[in-house]
């Protein structure tokens, strides 16, 4: 097996959802490069398998496995967590990162109950299932680190209407804080990652005109979209023991957006 590039996650086993694209893909590769063994989960099984192929080509066999998991399906999430244990022997890190932003007009007057329910099912219930099964497993080994992907829209009002999405990410923040407090003494840490606007398929499909993109960038002091790898680096810090005294935080990685007025 080729040695990984670093050892910040040596002897750790991570599960990452949404591992087939964007933040999840970059985090899977980065975590593996720092010594973690990674379960790459995605509703798109081909994309998850491609992430594993990439990890294997870079670092050799035995560093990653893929699974098709819809995070809004409890059984899928249970299997995804069990795979970490059956394949790699334990569970140290869960990055509940998968999420959707419905491309339809999603303001209070135009959004539909279907969009609302689907968004909540994946973005909120999916994080709950991920936390629930992770807690059960991490208790057995004395703790772990759980990172939940929220968004800057949970911290500031978004200028482009996306009401169901915003509400779902607010719920992720609130849930993460409560879990952090409740499980702090068990050494299970929970932190939220709050990305700013990124150049990933999720946002680029939503902001599908130059006008929409420019309107979003007006609010970003750095004047550019973020890259998925910039989120992965923050997630790596939260996943590693370097953040051992951090729990219940909302880490904004947003080009200065939340600092601006």
Question: Where does this chain bind ligand NAD (CB under 6 A)?
Answer: 17-18, 20-24, 42-44, 47, 69-72, 97-101, 122, 149, 151, 195, 197-198, 200-203, 228
- Helix 126-141 to helix 74-88 angle (10° resolution) is 30
Quick check: 59 and 2 in contact, CB under 8 A? yes
Quick check: 169 and 151 in contact, CB under 8 A? yes
Question: Could you give the CA distance from residue 52 to residue 58 in angstroms, rounded to a whole number?
Answer: 10
CA-based nearest residue to 95, from 22, 164, 161:
22
Which are the contacts of 24, defined by CB distance < 8 A and separation ≥ 6? 16, 17, 18, 40, 42, 51, 95, 97, 98
**Minimum gap (Å) between residue 68 Cβ and ligand NAD:** 8
Quick check: 26 and 229 in contact, CB under 8 A? yes
**Minimum gap (Å) between residue 156 Cβ and ligand NAD:** 12
Q: Is 165 in the active site?
A: yes
DSSP 184: G
Nearer CB in complex with ligand NAD: 43/187: 43
**Minimum gap (Å) between residue 19 Cβ and ligand NAD:** 7
Could you say which of 5, 133, 165, 261 is catalytic?
Answer: 165
**Longest CA–CA separation in the chain, Å:** 56
Question: Could you give the CA distance from residue 171 to residue 251 in angstroms, rounded to a whole number?
Answer: 15
For CA atoms 60, 62, 63, 68, give the dihedral sign: positive
Distances from the Cα of 219 to the Cαs of 6, 9, 208, 215, 225, in angstroms?
Answer: 35, 35, 17, 8, 11
**Minimum gap (Å) between residue 206 Cβ and ligand NAD:** 8
User: Hey, which residues are catalytic here?
Assistant: 165
């Amino acid at each position: 097996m080729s040695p990984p590039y670093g050892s910040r996650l040596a002897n750790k086993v991570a599960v990452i959802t949404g591992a087939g694209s964007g933040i999840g893909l970059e985090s899977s590769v980065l975590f593996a490069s720092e010594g973690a063994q990674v379960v790459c989960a995605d509703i798109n099984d081909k994309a998850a398998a491609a992430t594993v192929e990439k990890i294997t080509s870079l670092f050799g066999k035995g560093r990653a496995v893929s699974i098709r998991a819809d995070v809004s399906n409890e059984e899928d999430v249970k299997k995804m967590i069990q795979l970490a244990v059956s394949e790699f022997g334990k569970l140290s890190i869960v990055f509940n990162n998968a999420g959707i932003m419905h491309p339809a007009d999603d303001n209070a007057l135009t959004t539909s109950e279907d969009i609302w329910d689907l968004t909540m099912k994946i973005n909120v219930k999916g994080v709950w299932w991920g936390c629930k099964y992770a807690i059960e497993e991490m208790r057995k080994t004395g703790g772990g680190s759980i990172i939940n992907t929220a968004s800057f829209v949970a911290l500031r009002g978004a200028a482009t209407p996306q009401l169901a999405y915003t509400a779902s990410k607010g719920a992720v923040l609130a849930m993460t804080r409560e879990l952090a407090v409740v499980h702090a003494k068990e050494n299970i840490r929970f932190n939220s990652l709050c990305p700013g606007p990124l150049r990933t398929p999720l946002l680029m499909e939503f902001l599908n005109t130059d006008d929409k993109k420019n309107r979003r960038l007006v609010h970003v002091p750095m004047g550019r979209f973020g890259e998925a790898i910039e989120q992965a680096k923050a997630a790596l810090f939260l996943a590693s023991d370097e953040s051992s005294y951090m729990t219940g935080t909302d880490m904004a990685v947003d080009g200065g957006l939340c600092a601006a007025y």
